[in-house]
Amino acid sequence: MIDTIIINIPRSKTRMLSGERWDLIAKKDFYSKFARNPTKRQKESGRYYPRLTGVQRAGSESIVKIEFSIPKLLYLNNLDELEEKDFKEVIHTLHERLKDMNVLIFEKDLVIADVSAVHYSKNIVLTSGYTAKHIISELQKINLNKLNDLTKTKFMNSGESLQGYSISNSFVFYDKISDLQKDEKRAIDREQNPYQRSLFSSLKDEEILRFEVRLSQKRKLNTLFKQYGFKTNPTFQEAFSLEKASRVMTEYWNEKIDKNKYVLFTYSENSESLLKKISIARPKSRPQTLLSLLGLVSFVKDNKGGLRELRTILTSRITDRAWYSIVKNLKSISKDLESLSELDWYQEVSKQIKNYKPYKTKKLLEA
């Protein structure tokens, strides 16, 4: 539903207890910026802590910006997804973590805190045989640079992520399971803790496509909320909403992807696309087997003589038993390919974005 959020608290609503100092990170004539990040001890504690930024501007009240991943605050990972009923626990946990950082803010003030940025997200579990990497390779066929509110597109990590970006907003698709293995410099999620990485062993056989919509500027957030009929200048509690998360993500999917899906289904049965389909139809087959099936299907499809010509060529090299085995394999893979609709993956992804159900890892369900 929601991952990262930045909330703003007036300095008058905070009380700084004794402890670690704030580091000056920027200073101009009428502007100063301070940072307060988790200490080494806090990072090694096994708990997740927010990042704090203090902003002082001449002529206006100072504020404290609190940035954090909400699911990591509760679950130490962002595979497990939140529900609206979790909000009270989120507020209490955030209050306690801030107190550990010697910053005291009442829970009631956290509830009504102003939101300056929010990342809505969904982990999409793929069950139709398609891989996250395959879907991303298909989505990158859309010319995202033509979309008027994006300034650049990134297709990264050997096809494991796709991002449309601008300063005010962005969206990203990436292979969540593959991302768990990457180091900080290459990962899309650059705040991976030991617990989140430990999930890989139990999830390595799953295919999970991660979709995020990142509203990184308040002006863009307000523009979209007004457009969708929501109250502008939302509080933390108002932004923590299944309805808003689902609407924002559905609108981005419809506007960026669905309007351009004709590009995805302009079918071209070349060797590359055929091999991809065979790989999906036979996910456990070895590479040699996949290539053999590709050669068999391609020969029969591309030659007028079909099976008859193939048998003529192989007559002196093959027994009747081996030939019938080839025919059996051809019938089997042909049947599998016929049942593999080009729309299967698209419909599955679209349905999960529009009909939000929180994903929970087995570790959380068994806890």
pLDDT for res 167: 92
**Tokens standing for residue 11:** 């300095």
Quick: pLDDT tens for 21-55. 888 899 988 889 999 999 999 989 999 999 999 99
**Tokens standing for residue 219:** 């002006």
Q: Would you call 125 helix, strand, or coil by DSSP?
A: strand
How far apart are alpha carbons 265 and 277 in whole angstroms? Answer: 14
**Tokens standing for residue 224:** 């979209």
How far apart are alpha carbons 190 and 184 in whole angstroms? Answer: 5
Produce one character per residue of 25-54: b if its CB has 16 or more CB atoms within 10 Å, e if not. Answer: eeeeeeebbbebebeeebeeeebbbbebbb
Strand partners, 54: 34, 64
pLDDT for res 21: 80
pLDDT for res 104: 96
pLDDT for res 150: 66
Alpha helices in 149-188 (DSSP H): 176-179
pLDDT for res 283: 86
pLDDT for res 227: 97
pLDDT for res 36: 92
Tell me the backbone φ, ψ of residue 209, rounded to 5 degrees: -95, 125
**Tokens standing for residue 109:** 């003030």
**DSSP label at residue 255:** I
**DSSP label at residue 235:** B
pLDDT for res 90: 99
Closest residue by Cα to residue 180 from 166, 206, 200, 203: 200
Q: What residues of the chain score a pLDDT lower than 70?
A: 19-20, 143, 145-151, 157, 262-269, 304-305, 341-342, 363-367
